[in-house]
Amino acid sequence: MTKYNAVEGLKVASADGVLDLMLDRSDKRNSLNDVMVAGLIDAISEAGRDEAVRVIVLRGAGDHFCGGFDIIARNSEAGDRPRVGSIQRRLPHQAHGLVALIATVQTPVVCVVRGWAAGIGLHLALAADFAIADDQARLWEPFAERGFTPDSGGTWLLPRRVGEVRAREVLLLGRVLTGLEAAEWGMVHRAVPAVDLEDEVASLVGQLASGPTVSLGLTKWLLHVAPSSSFEGHLHDEAMALELSSRSEDFREGFAAYKQKRPPRFTGR
């Protein structure tokens, strides 16, 4: 049995060091539900342990990336009213767990944004290492308009990407940004015309998939923990990461390539 199993609403494919995860509810703008979130968590967790996977790509089927979480379906489900506190008990293991996993897994994550990326859909892009957007995509925080507070890391991720002033405009006033505006603000890595989107993604994914995977993963970890570390503590973390990365096969290859004045051929080990 394959390590990576599709679930309803999520397609999974793995080849040549790339794990491709496609949200597949195009009739609902690929809005997430509990089954999809659990499937994403399982797949990304496994990829973090799988030495054959060197990059994870997250995309949506059809014209949109992800319109958020399907709260209409959840609140329409039959059953007794949940106990007080059900949200704070559930979220760490569902939406919050997914966003945290994307931000911390030591495998580069690339998010492909076209159409709408709203709510948790936007937060998945913010948590990824790289988000490449269609320049006419629509990125939106819908919470103020819906009358409830942000979740899935929005109030932590967004200010760190765009600054507090701009984050307030997006979170409190509900400003919708195009992909081009999002790139100008630093919310996404790059925005390109729709016709160039897949080529741009393929180029980036190819570069990551042929890179020094151990070093990239440890660098991602260092970037994530830096804001909560003291300078002295972070220097200690950097020393530990250097100790580990310098023992990798890719370090030896990189050093040999430097001496021989040729491009390195990294294997991800």
DSSP bridge pairs for 69: 32
Confidence band for 3, pLDDT divided at 50, 70 and 90: confident
> What are the tens digits of pLDDT across the range 132-186?
999 999 999 999 998 989 999 999 999 999 999 999 999 999 999 999 999 999 9
Paired tokens of 23: 């949200």
In DSSP notation, the chain reads --S---BTTEEEEEETTEEEEEE--GGGTT-B-HHHHHHHHHHHHHHHH-TT--EEEEEESTT-SB--B-HHHHHHS-SPPPPTTHHHHHGGGTHHHHHHHHHH-SS-EEEEE-SEEETHHHHHHHHSSEEEEETT-EEE--HHHHTS---TTHHHHHHHHH-HHHHHHHHHH---EEHHHHHHHTSSSEEE-GGGHHHHHHHHHHHHHTS-HHHHHHHHHHHHHGGGS-HHHHHHHHHHHHHHHTTSHHHHHHHHHHHHTS-------
What is the domain class of 10-209 according to CATH?
A: alpha beta
Task: Tell me what the mean pLDDT of segment 83-112 comes to.
Answer: 84
Position 90 pLDDT exceeds 80: no
Residue 39 Cα distances to 7, 22, 141, 242, 267, angstroms: 6, 11, 24, 34, 28
What pLDDT is attached to residue 81? 67
What pLDDT is attached to residue 63? 97
Count CB neighbours of 28 within 10 A: 17
Paired tokens of 126: 């913010």
Residues in the chain: 269
Task: Tell me what the mean pLDDT of segment 111-129 comes to.
Answer: 98
> What are the tens digits of pLDDT across the range 28-76?
999 999 999 999 999 999 999 999 999 999 999 999 999 999 876 655 5
> What are the tens digits of pLDDT across the range 184-200?
999 999 999 999 999 99
What pLDDT is attached to residue 87? 65
Please, what is the Cα angle at 90 between 23 and 156, to 5 degrees?
70
pTM value > 0.85: yes
Rounded distance between C-alpha atoms, residue 115 and residue 194, angstroms: 10
> What are the tens digits of pLDDT across the range 226-261?
999 999 999 999 999 999 999 999 999 999 999 999
Position 1 pLDDT exceeds 50: no
> What are the tens digits of pLDDT across the range 7-21?
999 999 999 999 999
Within a 13 Å sphere around the CA of 81, how many CA atoms are in the beta-carbon half? 1
What pLDDT is attached to residue 94? 84
What pLDDT is attached to residue 70? 85
CB 66 within 8 A of CB 23: yes
